[in-house]
Structure 1
Amino acid sequence: MKAAFKLSPGKLTIAWLFILPVLLIRAFTTLYPTVVTFVSSLFEINIFKGGDWTFIGFDNFVTVLQDEKVLTSIKFTLIFTSVSMAFHIIFGIFVAMLLNVRFKGKKFLRTVTLIPWAMPMIVTGLASKWAFNNTYGLINDLIRRFNPDFQFDWLIYPASARLAVIMVDLWKDVPFFAILLLAGLQFIPDEIYESAKIDGAGAVKSFWAITMPLLMRTLLTLCIFFTLWRIVSYDIVYAMTTGGPGDATSLLAYRISVEAFTNLNIGYASAIAVCLFLIMVVFSSLNLVAIKRTEH
C-alpha cells in the first residue's frame, strides 16, 4: 500500500512547487517577524534618528527584570491566565453537561449560549466599562435592588478592577469553550453510561469514572489554545481599563503595545515580546505534557 502512494522525483518536485508559495507566505508572516523580534530585542532602536540601531546585548532584558510596570504586567498576566482558565474548565464543563441534556429547545439554547462569544471583544470591553460604573452601571443597579445603599466603583481599585476584567473574560469566552466541550461529550457512547448504571454507578461516579477520563484529551487540547489566547489578550484591557488603575490590569500584550507605539521604545518592546513568547512556550509545554500523560 505504501508503494502505491510513493511519488516519482518529477511529481515530488511539482508537489513542492505547488506548496512553496504557501510556505513562503507562512515564513514571511510568521517566521520573519519572530526572527526580527528576537534580533531587535538586542538593540536600542531610535526611530527619531532614521531608525538607528545600537547593539546593547541583553540590556533590554535586564531592564525588563527591573521594570516594576513590566513585572506588574507579568504578574497580572499569570493571574489572569491561571484564574480565567480554572473557571473556564469549571464553568465550561458545567454548561456543556447542561447543554448535553435532552430537552425541547436545546438547539435554540445552544445558539443563544454563543451570543456573548459572537460579540467583538472591543464592544464587550466598552460595554463592560459602562456596566461596572458606580453611578449608572448595570452591575451596581442589580446589587442595589437587594441593597439600596450599595456604593462601589469597580474599576478604580486594583483588586476589583482585576476581578471585573476576569469576570468579563469568562462571560465572553466560557460559552464557546462549553460548546467545544459539548462536541467532545457527544462522542461518548450512551451505552457506557447505561452499563455503569446497571452496575450501580450513580451520576457523580459516572462523571468521574467515565465522563472526565474520556473528555480529558479534548479538555487539555482546548486548554492549550484558550491559554494562549488569554496570555496574548489585549483588547479587553484596552477597551475596559486601559491598564488601570495605575498598571494593575495591564496585561503583558498591552504593555508591549504601550512601549512600542506610545513610548516608541521598539527594542525594549521586542524584549518584552520575547518574554511573552517564553511564557507561552512554558504554558504550552505543560499542557502538552498533560496530554501525553492522558494517552497512557
Structure 2
Amino acid sequence: MYANKRYLTIAWFLVIPALLIRAFTTVYPIVETFRISFFDIKILRGINQFVGLQNYVNIFHDPKVIEAIGFTAIFVIGSMIGHVVLGVILALILNMKFAGQKILRTIVLLPWALPMVVVAIASKWAVNNDYGLINDFVRWFNPSFHMDWLINTFTARTAVIAVDLWKDLPFFAILVLASLQFISSDVYEAASIDGAGSLRSFFKITLPLISRNIFVLSIFFTMWRITSFDVVYAMTAGGPGNSTDLIAYRITTEAFTNLNTGYSAAMAVTLFFVMAILSGLSLYASKKVDY
C-alpha cells in the first residue's frame, strides 16, 4: 500500500510540470480571450473599456464579418461536396486491383503532405495571367485567352475552393479507402451471383456500408474548413476587396492588422462555440458508427 502511494506521488510529481505548461499555453489563453471579448480594446487609440455584450452584437451588424461568414459557408459547402463526391470516386479507383497500386496511392498523397502555405503561394503563381501555368496551357488552344483569376470575385473564390480541395482531397480519399477495405469481397461475389452489376453493387452495398464513416469524416473536415486560414492568407489576402475573407482570416485581420483586440476576441469566442457544437456532434456521430 505504501509503495503504491509512493509510486502515485512520483507519477504526479512527473506529470504536474506538463499539466502546468499545458494550462498556461491552453487554458489561460482561452480564459483571457473570453475576458477581453467583453471589452472594447483598441491598442493604437489607448482604449480599454468594458462594453458587455456589445462586441457580440456588433458581429452581426458588421458588413465585413457578414461577408466573411457568407464566403465561409460557400467555401465549406463547395469544398465538402467536392471532398465527398471526388473523394469516394478516388477511393474506389485506389481500391481497384492493378499493377502499381501502391505507387499510385503514394503519389496521390503527395499534395496532402505539402504545407498549405506552399500550395497556396504556388497556386497564386499558377493562376497569374501573365506567367501562370494554367493560362499558359489554355493559350495553347486559344492564344487570345486572358483571365485575371484573383481579380474577379467569382473566379477568386472558385480558385480558393479548388486549391483547398486539391490539397486535402487525397487524405479524405485514403480515409474512405480504409472503410472500403473493411467490406468483405464475399458480399460482392454474392451480389454478382444474384445478377447485380457494378453500379447496383455500389449503390446497394458499398455506399450504405461506408455512408456512416463518410458522415463522420465530413464533420471533421467541415470543422477544419471552418477554421481555414492559411489558404486565403497566402493566396488572396482576402481579396478582391473582402470577397474571399474566411471568418478565421477576418478574426486575424481584426486582431493583428486593425488591432481591434476585444472585437476579434468576441468573434473568436463565437467561433469557439460553433466548433464546440460541431465537436459534440462529431463525438455523438462517432459513437453511432459501426466499424
Superposition TM-score, scaled by structure 2 size: 0.89
User: 1:253 corresponds to which residue?
Assistant: 248
Q: CA deviation at 1:142?
A: 1.9
Matched, 1:89 2:74: no
- Supply the distance in 2 between the matched residues of 1:47 and 1:158 (Cα, whole angstroms): 32
| SS at structure 1 position matched to 2:49 | strand
> Alpha-carbon deviations, 1:100-149, whole Å to 9, x = none?
10111111111111111111111111111111111221111222223222
- Supply the distance in 1 between the matched residues of 2:184 and 2:15 (Cα, whole angstroms): 40
- Supply the distance in 2 between the matched residues of 1:95 and 1:255 (Cα, whole angstroms): 33
Q: CA deviation at 1:193?
A: 1.3
| SS at structure 2 position matched to 1:155 | coil
Among 241, 248, 270, which residue is 1:275 paired with? 270
Among 112, 115, 119, which residue is 1:124 paired with? 119
Matched, 1:55 2:60: no
User: 2:60 corresponds to which residue?
Assistant: 65
User: 1:41 corresponds to which residue?
Assistant: 37
Matches of residues 276-291 of structure 1 in structure 2 within 5 Å?
276-285=271-280, 287=282
User: 1:192 corresponds to which residue?
Assistant: 187
Distance 1:290 1:150, change over 3 A: farther
- Supply the distance in 1 between the matched residues of 2:152 and 2:37 (Cα, whole angstroms): 34
Q: CA deviation at 1:204?
A: 1.7
Q: Are the equivalent residues in 1 in contact too, given 2:220–2:282 (CA < 8 A)? A: no
Distance 1:292 1:205, change over 3 A: farther
| SS at structure 1 position matched to 2:60 | helix
User: 1:227 corresponds to which residue?
Assistant: 222
- Supply the distance in 2 between the matched residues of 1:40 and 1:13 (Cα, whole angstroms): 38
User: 2:95 corresponds to which residue?
Assistant: 100
- Supply the distance in 1 between the matched residues of 2:15 and 2:207 (Cα, whole angstroms): 40
Q: CA deviation at 1:26?
A: 3.6
Structure 2: which amino acid aligns with 1:128? S
User: 1:147 corresponds to which residue?
Assistant: 142
| Residue segments in structure 1 that go unaligned for 5+ positions in a row | 1-7
- Supply the distance in 2 between the matched residues of 1:86 and 1:288 (Cα, whole angstroms): 22
Q: Are the equivalent residues in 2 in contact too, given 1:220–1:287 (CA < 8 A)? A: no
Structure 1: which amino acid aligns with 2:54? D
Q: CA deviation at 1:287?
A: 4.7
Matches of residues 203-222 of structure 1 in structure 2 within 5 Å?
203-222=198-217
Superposition TM-score, scaled by structure 1 size: 0.88
Q: Bigger CA drift: 60-69 or 17-26? A: 17-26
Q: Bigger CA drift: 218-227 or 174-183? A: 218-227
Structure 2: which amino acid aligns with 1:90? V
Q: CA deviation at 1:32?
A: 2.5
Deviating beyond 6 angstroms after TM superposition, the runs of 4 or more aligned structure 1 residues are 8-14
What is the number of residues matched between the two proteins?
288
- Supply the distance in 1 between the matched residues of 2:11 and 2:206 (Cα, whole angstroms): 43
| SS at structure 1 position matched to 2:241 | coil
- Supply the distance in 1 between the matched residues of 2:225 and 2:134 (Cα, whole angstroms): 24
| Residue segments in structure 2 that go unaligned for 5+ positions in a row | none
- Supply the distance in 1 between the matched residues of 2:143 and 2:263 (Cα, whole angstroms): 49
User: 1:240 corresponds to which residue?
Assistant: 235
User: 1:134 corresponds to which residue?
Assistant: 129
Q: CA deviation at 1:39?
A: 1.6
Q: Bigger CA drift: 110-119 or 19-28? A: 19-28
Q: CA deviation at 1:47?
A: 3.4
Q: Are the equivalent residues in 2 in contact too, given 1:42–1:56 (CA < 8 A)? A: yes
> Alpha-carbon deviations, 1:192-248, whole Å to 9, x = none?
211221222221222122222222232222222211111111111011000000000
Q: CA deviation at 1:260?
A: 0.6
- Supply the distance in 2 between the matched residues of 1:39 and 1:238 (Cα, whole angstroms): 27
